[in-house]
Amino acid sequence: VAVNKMDTTKWSEDRFNEIIKETSTFIKKVGYNPKAVAFVPISGWHGDNMLEESP
């Protein structure tokens, strides 16, 4: 799962983890194992973590 617009939260790890928690609940409800789903913080505006790992 690509978590977009992380630049707007100044790459807040707390916010990222909050999104993972909320999204994992939904993922589990639709029948998937949330632990088997990868979450990646990205910024589509800046291209961070889209094609190459950000510094």
pLDDT by residue for the chain (55 residues), tens digit each? 999 999 899 999 999 999 999 999 999 999 999 999 999 999 877 777 777 777 6
Share of the chain above pLDDT 70, in %: 91
pLDDT at 49: 73
Residues 40-50: tens digit of each pLDDT: 999 877 777 77
Q: What is the pTM of this model?
A: 0.78
Rg (alpha carbons) of the chain, rounded to whole number? 12
Residue extents of the structural domains in the chain: 2-41
Joined tokens for residue 27:
């993922």
| Cα–Cα dist 30/14, whole Å | 25
